[in-house]
Structure 1
Amino acid sequence: MFPPFDQKQAAVLLSKVKNGLNDGSIILKRDSNPSDGRNTSLVMLGALVCQKEDGTLQQFITVSGISCRLEGRLPAQFIEPLVSSSQIFSALEENDLEIHQLTDKIKTETSPQKAAELKKLREKLCGQSLLKVFKSYSFFCADGKSRRLLEILNYDKTKKLPPTGTGDCCAPKLLSFAFEHSLTPLSLAETKIHFSLEEKTAKPRCSFSSDYSSPTLFSRPEPELFPPCDSRCALILPSILGLKILYRDKDIIVVNKQSGVLSVPGRGPEKQDCIVNRVKRLFPNCIDQPSVHRLDMETSGLLVLAFTKEAHRELNRQFEAREVQKKYIALVDGILAKKGIAQSGTMELFFRLDPENRPHQIWDADCGKKAVTQWQIENVEYYTAPDSSRRPVTRVSFIPHTGRTHQLRLAAADSHGFGVPIVGDTLYGHCEQGERLLLHASELSFTHPETKERMHFSCPPDF
């Protein structure tokens, strides 16, 4: 993951904790010894700096996992795990004895077939226990709402459990606490702590060095900073933040917009939830109008927004001068080759708004605006609909050379284009219940408005 917030202020707080661990004024304590089955001699140390509504700052620290904590002269409030170790042990207790008994049987079983059966039963019991654990997790999000972990993961549909420890990393703990208390995050940073236990009751020895046996505590002059992890945090932080942040600096932010969310606010209170307002909520120093381009509500993919007026002005200029390059991926509902569509090409179409049927666009060779679209047929594949039926579709990449309303949807669906709509198109095709428009902005290139560096972002679709 890309660090969602600036790390500098929080890094100062990490250094204070580092110094406290060095001089003994802060102690890292464990409730249990490291397990032989995994590397528990490593924990993450996290720090968060927030702003209260009155403008004052509040600082927080935590560690990853459920069995470690910091005690002593702490420079900030310590944030406890979202779910306590006693709650987790209670959830695991029901199947724990049987799982251990199965493990012992597997070790001595000589029949491969019988061993496989025992492993399958053990896997089932472990899954039941983990599901019970994950049902205990919920997070306060940037919009003020609390969401269950299984809701965020869409477990009812996917039936896939996340990795063990999901929800126990530093970033989800810190951010959930901040949003629960109506605080605005300003800076978030994490680093690693390595430690060893010489005896069962020994005080941990901590080091930023990768050498666990090194007697030097925190030999690095400054803590090495790490972003939230891809294996666990990336599954839940976009829902907690309301944004999947791919890049951010003081001038711009690039996000992967999810399908079903507006790019900019619409008319009426029910249309105020959008990417622009989510960015402004997370980054209060952002300008009032950060949007420089938009995607249809049903389209997912890459969006760049500006934090400053200067960046906004320069990005707008690049879009108007067609210096920004974009690429989209779509699944078109049929086999284009059977309609005689070439493998690649460029089309020029002319459309205008249909005032009797807003927001639909209609063909008008005389008064319509020209839309130029380059396409490339990637392959033919099978699409599984929400009702589990399967049908052939064509994966197409589109490069728009103009920025007309519904340009790519019309390039696919209109009879002057392919004559075959994109899967899930509610305006120019058909959308089944539980389906979405399968159109995704997968690549975006522009020149950074401040550094003048050419930037390229790539974000594959989830279909």
Structure 2
Amino acid sequence: MFPPFEESLALKECRKIISLLNEKRITLEYTGKISPERASSGIMIGACLSKNDIDETVRLYTVSGNARRIVDAENTIDGFFVEPIVSTEKITGALAENDEEIHRLTDEINACEDVLKKNELKKQREKLTTESLAKVHDLYSFHCFNGKVKSLKEISAVTNRGKLPPTGTGDCCAPKLLDYCYANRLMPFSMCEVFYGNDSETKKSGQVYDPCDERCGLILPEILGLEVLYRDSHICVVNKQSGLLSVPGRGPEKEDSIEKRFRLIYADAVEIKQPAVHRLDMETSGIMVLAFTKEAHRAMNMAFERGDVQKEYVALLDGVLARKGVPRHGQNELYFRLDVNNRPHQIWDDVNGKKAITEWNILGVEKYVAPDGTRTDATRIQYIPHTGRTHQLRLVSADSHGFGMPIIGDTLYGHCKPGERLMLHAKKITFPHPATGEKVTFECKEPF
């Protein structure tokens, strides 16, 4: 995943720590059992610079895993070592109940020659190991950007469809550092991870690595409140989740939004009060761009006005468009305006309405399974809007002047079952970078 914070300042801290390790002025200590293979495989060194309530810089550092820590007997490091989220003792305790039986089954499996019985023993062992892993995961919780604490189980329900995350989730450097920051009211502004140890096929000693997709990709977006796809000193590109406002609405109950979270997480870097350069409907997920500076915001606004921004969406329509004689590719022009008696609905008006131009490509027909288990035929479609009208794609889909087939989960123009979301995702955006003018493209696969 893309590193959520600037790295250069924290990289200097990582290199200082590695230098001290090489000089043996600080040492790595094992706090639990670890295999010889893992002991020689190397670790990630992580550092984070943050600000406290009185604007002082606080330096944090840690190592990956939960069975090692750095010992600084001479106090040579200017900073605080961040301990694992869960200690090795607690993990050992969680595994203890099934550990003996798992080892017994393993010995029996190794000695068994009957294929059917061997498979049955493996199923028994798998059940026990899954139970043990679940107990370990139940120990993990993380302090988040907004002061709330979320359990790993709660996070996995959102980001991993309720499935158990991989072993070691929460033991990487980034979640430890961010958990410590948000638990202690610190605002991170630089974070970096560097590999230290023997070179392997996948990692080189001294090289910077992004937070891993496999584990950190599941939990960091929930800890941060944002899934960062790209960030530099001018702009930030995020993957907005369905159900969250793009910008704050009226009233405290509508304050939480992508824009509010962005200003909170990057408080020192954001120069403007309204950094969002465009919006997505609350129920729509996908790519959204925000600006750090006034100059970047102005340049992005001009790019939108000139038509230099191209966007692509993917939607699931409730039915089969081909049965209506709709061609696989096409473009339409529709006219809509606000229904003043039923806000925020838009209605057809070919006299006073604003023109909405939309290009489409039918991607295929598939079976959609609703949260209640019902199965229906659905059309996956790509939309390329050439204008940016309110609810444009929802209306192109649902209105009788368009396809007359709403997007699945549309609460305004269709039907939404309990637990269902709007199946509309902003998948791709292309625009000239506000600082360099170079054309850049960002893409984020639809989660449905």
TM-score, normalization by structure 2: 0.96
Query: Does the CA-based 8 Å contact 2:159-2:219 persist in structure 1?
Result: no
Query: Does the CA-based 8 Å contact 2:181-2:188 persist in structure 1?
Result: yes
Residue 68 of structure 1 is matched in structure 2 by: 68
Q: SS state of the match for residue 170, structure 2?
A: coil
Provide the C-alpha distance between the structure 2 equivalents of 1:387 and 1:299, rounded to a whole number of angstroms.
21
Q: Does 1:340 align with 2:325?
A: yes
Provide the C-alpha distance between the structure 2 equivalents of 1:400 and 1:155, rounded to a whole number of angstroms.
29
Post-superposition Cα deviations, 1:357-411, rounded to whole Å, max 9, x if no partner, equal 0000000000000000000110000000011010100000000000000000000
- Select 1:179's aligned residue among 173, 177, 182: 182
Q: SS state of the match for residue 154, structure 1?
A: helix
Query: Runs in 1 of length 4+ with deviation above 6 angstroms?
Result: none
Q: Does 1:455 align with 2:440?
A: yes
Q: Does 1:101 align with 2:143?
A: no
Residue 278 of structure 2 is matched in structure 1 by: 293
Residue 197 of structure 1 is matched in structure 2 by: none
Query: Does the CA-based 8 Å contact 1:52-1:58 persist in structure 2?
Result: yes
Structure 2: state its 5+ residue gaps.
Answer: none
**For residue 455 of structure 1, what is the amino acid of its counterpart?**
V
- Select 1:238's aligned residue among 221, 237, 248: 221
- CA drift of 1:422 comes to 0.1
Query: Does the CA-based 8 Å contact 1:351-1:363 persist in structure 2?
Result: yes
Provide the C-alpha distance between the structure 2 equivalents of 1:449 and 1:155, rounded to a whole number of angstroms.
34
Provide the C-alpha distance between the structure 2 equivalents of 1:36 and 1:54, rounded to a whole number of angstroms.
45
Post-superposition Cα deviations, 1:62-114, rounded to whole Å, max 9, x if no partner, equal 01111100012333100101111000000000000000011111111101111
Residue 88 of structure 2 is matched in structure 1 by: 85
After superposition, residues 331-370 of structure 1 pair within 5 angstroms as 331-370=316-355
- Select 2:154's aligned residue among 120, 127, 151: 151
- CA drift of 1:321 comes to 1.0
Query: Does the CA-based 8 Å contact 1:247-1:253 persist in structure 2?
Result: yes
Query: Does the CA-based 8 Å contact 1:34-1:41 persist in structure 2?
Result: no
Query: Does the CA-based 8 Å contact 1:34-1:40 persist in structure 2?
Result: no
- CA drift of 1:32 comes to 4.2
After superposition, residues 202-281 of structure 1 pair within 5 angstroms as 209-210=199-200, 223-281=206-264
Provide the C-alpha distance between the structure 2 equivalents of 1:343 and 1:31, rounded to a whole number of angstroms.
61
After superposition, residues 357-396 of structure 1 pair within 5 angstroms as 357-396=342-381
Using the aligned pairs only, state the percent identity. 53
TM-score, normalization by structure 1: 0.93
Provide the C-alpha distance between the structure 2 equivalents of 1:115 and 1:462, rounded to a whole number of angstroms.
38
Query: Does the CA-based 8 Å contact 1:292-1:306 persist in structure 2?
Result: yes
Q: SS state of the match for residue 281, structure 1?
A: helix
Q: Does 1:420 align with 2:405?
A: yes
Residue 14 of structure 1 is matched in structure 2 by: 14
Structure 1: state its 5+ residue gaps.
Answer: 195-206, 212-218
Provide the C-alpha distance between the structure 2 equivalents of 1:156 and 1:304, rounded to a whole number of angstroms.
22
**For residue 257 of structure 2, what is the amino acid of its counterpart?**
C
**For residue 225 of structure 1, what is the amino acid of its counterpart?**
V
Q: SS state of the match for residue 451, structure 1?
A: coil
Provide the C-alpha distance between the structure 1 equivalents of 2:112 and 2:40, rounded to a whole number of angstroms.
30
Provide the C-alpha distance between the structure 1 equivalents of 2:186 and 2:81, rounded to a whole number of angstroms.
16
Distance 1:39 1:297, change over 3 A: farther
Provide the C-alpha distance between the structure 2 equivalents of 1:458 and 1:440, rounded to a whole number of angstroms.
11
After superposition, residues 133-172 of structure 1 pair within 5 angstroms as 133-154=136-157, 158-172=161-175
**For residue 143 of structure 2, what is the amino acid of its counterpart?**
F
Provide the C-alpha distance between the structure 2 equivalents of 1:234 and 1:156, rounded to a whole number of angstroms.
9
Residue 199 of structure 1 is matched in structure 2 by: none
- CA drift of 1:31 comes to 2.7
Provide the C-alpha distance between the structure 2 equivalents of 1:124 and 1:3, rounded to a whole number of angstroms.
36
Provide the C-alpha distance between the structure 1 equivalents of 2:263 and 2:159, rounded to a whole number of angstroms.
32
- CA drift of 1:30 comes to 1.1
Provide the C-alpha distance between the structure 1 equivalents of 2:17 and 2:211, rounded to a whole number of angstroms.
19
Query: Does the CA-based 8 Å contact 2:34-2:67 persist in structure 1?
Result: no
Q: Relative to structure 2, which stretch is displaced further, 363-372 or 38-47?
A: 38-47
**For residue 51 of structure 1, what is the amino acid of its counterpart?**
K
**Across the two proteins, how many residue pairs are aligned to each other?**
441
Provide the C-alpha distance between the structure 2 equivalents of 1:264 and 1:420, rounded to a whole number of angstroms.
29
- Select 2:422's aligned residue among 437, 444, 456: 437
Residue 386 of structure 2 is matched in structure 1 by: 401
